[in-house]
Structure 1
Amino acid sequence: MLHLAPSWHLQRGCKSLHAPTSSILQITFYEDRGFQGHCYECSSDCPNLQPYFSRCNSIRVDSGCWMLYERPNYQGHQYFLRRGDYPDYQQWMGFNDSIRSCRLIPQHTGTFRMRIYERDDFRGQMSEITDDCPSLQDRFHLTEVHSLNVLEGSWVLYEMPSYRGRQYLLRPGEYRRYLDWGAMNAKVGSLRRVMDFY
């Protein structure tokens, strides 16, 4: 994946981090609730937002789907945001006002497909998913997933049913154990495709 160095310029009173080729996809971070205080616009992946703001209490997503991270270098709690206004951190299910890195999720227009397994290293019962699943328990009688293979599209895995709890971004690739997607345990409640229209 190509990472473009951000460039700074002032726009509408906000400092901006814009990648020259992707300025139409944008997220704006505000230090205070209700879109108040200093704001920073970003249009590309940023592994370390710490130099640009100390806290984040509201966010406006003008376009695209984004995964936000509590710590630098895409670590810590993850938060999936799509186009919309988030006037306080509870609106994106945040635990606090700490956002230290962000990743733009590439738009996918084809089909979505993922295989989930009940054991590590793609062993045990396998189930294939091609659409959103609000409850793995109801559909597959599973509450844990120990490995998975994302074949097409990006997904968000939620720890609890109905798209609640901790969130994890799953991009195409193999995840041989739950640690590979950043989880502390194998608990999975729901899965959702990353699409820019909900």
Structure 2
Amino acid sequence: MSEQQGAPDQLPAGKSQGGASATYQVVLYELENFQGRKVELTAECKDVTEKSLDKVSSVMVESGPWVAFERQGFSGEQFILEKGEYPRWSTWTNSHSGYFLMSLRPLKDGAEHKLQLFEGPGFNGRKMEIVDDDVPSLWAHGFHDRVASIKALNGAWVGYMYPGYRGCQFVFEQGEYKHWNDWEAATPQIQSVRRVRDMQWHKRGCFTSPAPAPAPAPAPAPPAPPAAPTGSS
């Protein structure tokens, strides 16, 4: 990931924000549905092929959270892995741009979450502050597709290209992101954001996207018109 100004130094695995003790444990499987060769990790891995895996197609997160990447060296699209089971690629992303993982590392989080979004680069333009909340759509707050700079003041966050936590994911750890290139995005497009669920602070752990609203029931068919009277013979 690009270096962000104001971001704290990388903490060693096993430690979380604020100095509190935390554990990180994940099991990687080469094939879907937890099949094939497997490797257990408690610290970062820059290249899963160094662990005798050709790729990672399913994951079990015992404790975390973790951020995984589609390419070696913590590069490419990012994927958040909170506590839970991920039997295939569609359980950690819906962007359809990557189908397996090649590197991952523990992700720092905290008990509190505070995020500031800016419409322009360099923290200019329209501003929105989010405190301990998830926002499934930024449109209602005046951000029509464009978020060009971000300050993550507390906790870890995930931004998505589309409303409803869909599309490519971008991870924001505590620090300043003056330009969308700082979070390795090609465009300043973010339309939904949410907090990362760390089991140390959030007992549920894994984030579950809300189910879509049921479709409205079809309107009843209008009554048939009355039959025309029959003429007398």
Fold shared, TM-score > 0.5 on shorter chain: yes
Summarize the Cα distance change of 1:36–1:48 in structure 2 as closer, same or farther, 3 Å threshold.
same
Runs (5+) with no aligned partner, structure 1: 5-20
Contact 1:89 1:95 in 2 (8 A): no
Amino acid at match of 1:51: E
Matches within 5 A, 1:119-138: 119-130=120-131, 131-138=133-140
Amino acid at match of 2:47: N
| Corresponding residue for residue 156 of structure 1 | 158
Residue-by-residue CA offset, 1:24-80 (whole Å, 9 max, x unaligned): 421111011111110011111222222121121111111111110011221101111
| Corresponding residue for residue 81 of structure 1 | 81
Task: Count matched residues.
Answer: 180
Question: 3-state SS of the aligned residue for 1:188?
Answer: coil
Amino acid at match of 1:88: R
Question: 3-state SS of the aligned residue for 1:51?
Answer: helix
Deviation at 1:3, TM superposition (A): 4.4
| Corresponding residue for residue 29 of structure 2 | 30
Amino acid at match of 1:103: R
Tell me the percent identity.
32
Question: 3-state SS of the aligned residue for 1:195?
Answer: coil
| Corresponding residue for residue 115 of structure 2 | 114
User: 1:39 aligned to 2:27?
Assistant: no
Contact 1:55 1:97 in 2 (8 A): no
| Corresponding residue for residue 12 of structure 1 | none
Q: Which has the higher contact order (CA 8 A, sep 6+)?
A: 2
Two-structure CA RMSD over aligned residues (Å): 1.8
Question: 3-state SS of the aligned residue for 1:180?
Answer: helix
Contact 1:108 1:195 in 2 (8 A): no
Summarize the Cα distance change of 1:96–1:178 in structure 2 as closer, same or farther, 3 Å threshold.
closer
Summarize the Cα distance change of 1:139–1:125 in structure 2 as closer, same or farther, 3 Å threshold.
closer
TM-score w.r.t. structure 1 length? 0.84
TM-score w.r.t. structure 2 length? 0.72
Amino acid at match of 2:44: D
Question: 3-state SS of the aligned residue for 1:138?
Answer: helix
